[in-house]
Structure 1
Amino acid sequence: MNVLAEESNAVIKQLNPYVYDMLSRMGKELFFPRGILTQSAEAKQKAHKINATIGIAKEKGKVMSLSSITSPVGGLEPDAFLPYAPSFGLPTLREQWQKSLFEKNSSLEGKCVSLPVVTSGITHAVSTFADMWMDPGDVVILPDMMWGNYNMTFGVRNQARVVTYNTFNADLTGLDIEAFEKAVRDRAATGKKIITILNFPNNPSGYSPTVAEAEKITAILVDIAQKGSNVVVGCDDAYFGLFFEEETMKESIFSLLAGSHERIAAVKLDGATKEDYVWGLRTGFVTYGFCASQASQDLGPLYAAMEQKTAGCIRGNSSNVSHLSQSILLKGMEAAGYGDEKKEKFDILKSRAQAIKSVLKDPVYRDAWDVYPFNSGYFMCVRLKDVDAETLRLHLLDTYGVGLIAIGQRNIRVAFSCMEEDEVKVLFDILLKGIKDLK
């Protein structure tokens, strides 16, 4: 094992040995190199005469560039987006995102979380999480209604075993908390660490927990930790902030889990992708929320060690994240109208979700499908009663030119995020007609 990994591991063991135990083999061996990168950073600070360390081309004191490439990027100087970004991410952006976490999650007040590490989108954040915490054969507990890419990331890339539980209760009024509790307690009974992903707003269902549901989930995990099980929780907040109903919890469940118990490793996986409508910029974040073994201990060194391992993981697979994307996001977050613009887009999506709920109150649809609970995010789902989902999907596409997503044998996902409000009733009437065609 590299000596730098050993140094980080020693810090982690001292401040919270359970966190060290929960790391995957790769997570334990990861480190951030002090070679060329460190020497270049030192030279940037002290080489006032000549700096011949950086692996980029410069000309007359500025980054060398082609105007045919830089000219379309208005408002940013080439030096603000062409050089490599640090593997940790731009320091100012990391600080800005951390600040926003506290603004958006009031339950984090008084808690200490890490400085976010920048990833190339939330998928990369999820993949980095898997590298850090999952070994081949580990069990990861997921709802049966989940993002399909989890199977690729956890099951194929990291060779973990996916175990699912029922997402919703029988009458489709909320989460099946009992099924979740049984799944995690069954895993706890094996004496091995628990790994679970809490994805709210959920993809594909578009559901986020009520405050009461979130508190129950947290209480279950804390109780399991108190009884001696190590718990790793990845909070996939890809659609964070798009909460449309009053009773829906308006924070990430990370804010409840962070610092809740020394045996709980809470990891927030989020980003600008959906929160800021910048899907192609590929800018995500990984943030840690731990508890020290002793309340008086400073979490700073523990977080620094984890940030170094995370940046090392990024360094080893993609080197760093697009400097241009980070600079654009940072400039946008600092703009005077940023909050007002986000509110405007939020209101549009909320109005579409409300339109769907209004349309689906019509009893004409009752015999064709059941509606899964939805209150947030981009999506909603219906459970078909009589026809196969894939057969229906193809029929709608070929006959009516309507595209929807089939999930399993009975579920259809509707992305209202990309529909206009006046298309809502048209869509569901065509969906109903397609079902009648197939009967």
Structure 2
Amino acid sequence: MIHALAQELNTVLEGTSAGSLLSDLGRRIFFPKGIIAQGAEAKKFGYRANATIGMACIDGKAVTLPSVQKHLPLLNTDEAVAYAPTAGNPVLRELWKQKIIEKNPDLADKTFSLPIVVPGLTAGISYLCDLFISENDVLLAADPSWDNYALIVKARRNAQFLQFPMFSGEGFNLAAFKAVMNEESKMGKVRVLLNFPQNPSGYSPTREEAREICDIIRRAAEKGAYVTVWCDDAYFGLNYEKETETQSLFAFLADIHERVLAVKIDGPTKEDYVWGFRTGFLTFAGKGLQEEHYTALSKKVMGIIRSSVSCASTPAQSIMIKMLRNSALQKEKDKFRVLLEKRYRKVRAFVDAKKGHPVIEPFPFNSGYFMSFHCKTVSAEILRQKLLAEYGIGTIAIDNETLRVAFSSIDETAIDGVYEAVYKAAEDLANE
């Protein structure tokens, strides 16, 4: 039986793209008027005393051990150890929304939700699966793709993970994407995850490809299907070629059709080089959605957060607020972006000189942290093992035909040696 608070949210979302796409869990979930909600009211109105939250306080501020506080000298006790609100620090949420608009100018005049803080982008994707994927439903994604997608979809939700070949020649396989979208549209609902710059290939669409991808999505909605598109923007902004689209697809999908619900999954983890902060954001957009709809969606997500991890890390959020307010932030980021682009250029030059190699060939790549090899005549897993055992080089076998190399973690001076070893090991295996 669905709880009254869940039904109230379902009623608000009824008839919208979001409401039509909810999973069975998505329909059942709600944010309870329990400890957290009552505590928020007490924080606002309890001027005499707040006896709601299980924290030790002195003069209304969280206490902290000196052995902890000495390592966080620029944070006060509340910034360091107090609980964060379920949906995240409201100041951080507003700051991140402003940053999204700055980085995606096409969003300036469009309506979209306030970002919700989640404990990492992986958690964000898992929460979206909870919200929109029921058992045996299908999530579309590119092949190759990050292995964690399949783990979340298949193992946690007992749903189907359907992949389409990502590449055709030197670019995105628009024909394959169109075919799988058309086929899945016949079911009335389509759920698709697009990750750019992509892990593991390191590819982002060109401006023309981005337009075509969005047109394919729009046409599916025009034919009557409800479509939710999840834009995994973990590596956003790290583009190295002029023809590459610089904005997130979220910016174009935000108001593309009434039956399209777009979701942006992003955060500072890769963009701002704070991998261990485990802080990400979920942001929703859809043509015709109003503030009441975004509020209802947010409460659904808050229910999932509350019933899993309760809230994201407080010190990470506190540091992020200070970071985003720092006028030197972009200059600092530019320094590391230049470093990554130099590594990309060196890898690019090396593999371009090996075009037509009979054993391995690179998938198209133009952005992000990675590039991957398509292993044509050898096993990616056996090649990985050989590189590790004989050359002391660690790589990742995404599947039996895909070997991922993270040039982001290789010093520029070591790149030639690493890639020479990859090709040599592949050739040796092919000749055995």
Q: Which of residues 313, 322, 347 in structure 2 aligns to 1:331?
A: 322
Q: Which runs of 4+ in 1 moved over 3 A?
A: none
Q: How does 1:391-406 map to 2 (within 5 A)?
A: 391-406=382-397
For the pair 1:258 / 2:254, whether they are aligned, the reply is yes
Q: Matched residue of 1:208: which SS?
A: coil
| Aligned residue number for residue 267 of structure 2 | 271
Q: Which of residues 166, 175, 178 in structure 2 aligns to 1:181?
A: 178
Amino acid at match of 2:330: G
Q: Which of residues 274, 283, 290 in structure 1 aligns to 2:286?
A: 290
For the pair 1:350 / 2:341, whether they are aligned, the reply is yes
For the Cα contact (< 8 Å) 2:188–2:224, is it kept in 1?
Answer: no
For the Cα contact (< 8 Å) 2:144–2:402, is it kept in 1?
Answer: no
| Aligned residue number for residue 120 of structure 1 | 119
**Range with greater deviation from structure 2 (61-70 or 279-288):** 61-70
| Aligned residue number for residue 62 of structure 2 | 63
For the Cα contact (< 8 Å) 2:182–2:220, is it kept in 1?
Answer: yes
Q: State the identity as a percent.
A: 39
Unaligned stretches of 5+ in structure 2? none
1:20 CA drift (Å): 0.8
1:436 CA drift (Å): 3.1
CA distance in 2, matches of 1:77, 1:62: 9
For the Cα contact (< 8 Å) 2:202–2:365, is it kept in 1?
Answer: yes
Give per-residue Cα distances to partners, 1:86-105, cap 9 Å, x unaligned: 00100000000010010001
| Aligned residue number for residue 216 of structure 2 | 220
**Range with greater deviation from structure 2 (202-211 or 428-437):** 428-437
For the pair 1:40 / 2:39, whether they are aligned, the reply is yes
Amino acid at match of 2:105: S
CA distance in 2, matches of 1:196, 1:67: 48
Amino acid at match of 1:332: M
Give per-residue Cα distances to partners, 1:281-310, cap 9 Å, x unaligned: 100000001111xxxxx7111111111111
CA distance in 1, matches of 2:372, 2:41: 53
CA distance in 1, matches of 2:137, 2:177: 18
| Aligned residue number for residue 295 of structure 1 | none
Give per-residue Cα distances to partners, 1:122-141, cap 9 Å, x unaligned: 00000011011000010111
Give the 3 Å change call, closer, same or farther, for CA 374–61 of structure 1 in structure 2.
same
| Aligned residue number for residue 89 of structure 2 | 90
CA distance in 1, matches of 2:132, 2:231: 13
1:364 CA drift (Å): 8.2
Q: Matched residue of 2:75: which SS?
A: coil
**Range with greater deviation from structure 2 (107-116 or 48-57):** 48-57
CA distance in 2, matches of 1:60, 1:163: 55
For the Cα contact (< 8 Å) 2:17–2:226, is it kept in 1?
Answer: yes
1:435 CA drift (Å): 2.3
CA distance in 2, matches of 1:153, 1:112: 30
Q: How does 1:24-423 map to 2 (within 5 A)?
A: 24-169=23-168, 171=169, 173-189=170-186, 191-292=187-288, 299-363=290-354, 366-423=357-414
**RMSD (CA atoms):** 1.4
| Aligned residue number for residue 20 of structure 1 | 19
For the Cα contact (< 8 Å) 1:365–1:432, is it kept in 2?
Answer: no
1:409 CA drift (Å): 2.6
CA distance in 2, matches of 1:307, 1:264: 17
Amino acid at match of 2:188: K
Unaligned stretches of 5+ in structure 1? 293-297
CA distance in 2, matches of 1:97, 1:57: 30
Q: How many residues align?
A: 429
**Range with greater deviation from structure 2 (415-424 or 425-434):** 425-434
CA distance in 2, matches of 1:385, 1:161: 27
TM-score of the two chains, using structure 2 as the length reference: 0.96
Q: Matched residue of 1:28: which SS?
A: helix
CA distance in 1, matches of 2:352, 2:139: 37
Amino acid at match of 2:247: E
TM-score of the two chains, using structure 1 as the length reference: 0.95
CA distance in 2, matches of 1:406, 1:38: 45
CA distance in 2, matches of 1:291, 1:436: 52
CA distance in 2, matches of 1:53, 1:436: 66
Q: Matched residue of 2:171: which SS?
A: coil
